[in-house]
Amino acid sequence: MKIYLAGPDVFLPDAVAIGRRKVDICARRGLIGLYPLDNIIDLAADSASLQIFRGNETMMNEADAIIANLTPFRGPGADAGTVYELGYMAGRGKPCFGYSNDPTLYVDRVRERSQVTSQDGHLVDGDGLTVENFGHTDNLMMIHGLELHGAPLVVPHRAPDDLWHDLTSFEACVRLAAAL
């Protein structure tokens, strides 16, 4: 079974190495991990970004399931590119798994960045925009998307020391996928 390995891991300084570790963990459970950086892209070409998209989409179409790293990235929630891919795989009817190495609530992460106040019985941020407050770690579309299309988001009880390199929760997702 082939698993598409989605996540902002591709933006890490050691993106290739972490992909290799993920593929190895998959292999130990008899799964084939497909990692975006394994696509061969001519980064000097004008069409580099389109080539990346096409490579990722082809990999997703080939994959039987997805494991998405939804650890908050450059804001209070998950990386948008990863979330697009999670939605895409859910739309294709393929099993979806995901993890986040940050177990804090979404609303608390918004609070770190903006003044959150209560207004007419719901929470709003400094711009007056409603803040989801259902006790989830991220937007409900991903939380329930995972729940209904695969398995609930895997989160550790406590954030690991290294948010970007600890693969304990990733490994839990691999076990879930291997049990399919």
Residues in touch with a second copy (CB under 8 A): 8, 10-13, 15, 48-50, 52-54, 56-57, 73-81, 83-92, 110, 113-114, 124-125, 128-132, 134, 136, 138-145, 147-148
Q: Which CA distances in Å does 102 have to 4, 41, 44, 114, 124?
A: 21, 31, 35, 19, 22
- How far apart are the C-alpha atoms of 142 and 150, rounded to whole Å? 11
Inter-residue contact 67 to 173 (CB < 8 Å): yes
* Dihedrals phi, psi of 107, to nearest 5 degrees: -60, -35
Residues 6+ apart with CB under 8 A from 20: 35
Report the residue number, 20 or 136, with the smaller CB distance to a second copy. Answer: 136
Report the residue number, 75 or 175, with the smaller CB distance to a second copy. Answer: 75
Closest distance of CB 40 from a second copy, Å: 17
Residue type, 130: T
Closest distance of CB 29 from a second copy, Å: 25
Closest distance of CB 79 from a second copy, Å: 8
Closest distance of CB 4 from a second copy, Å: 12
Report the residue number, 27 or 129, with the smaller CB distance to a second copy. Answer: 129
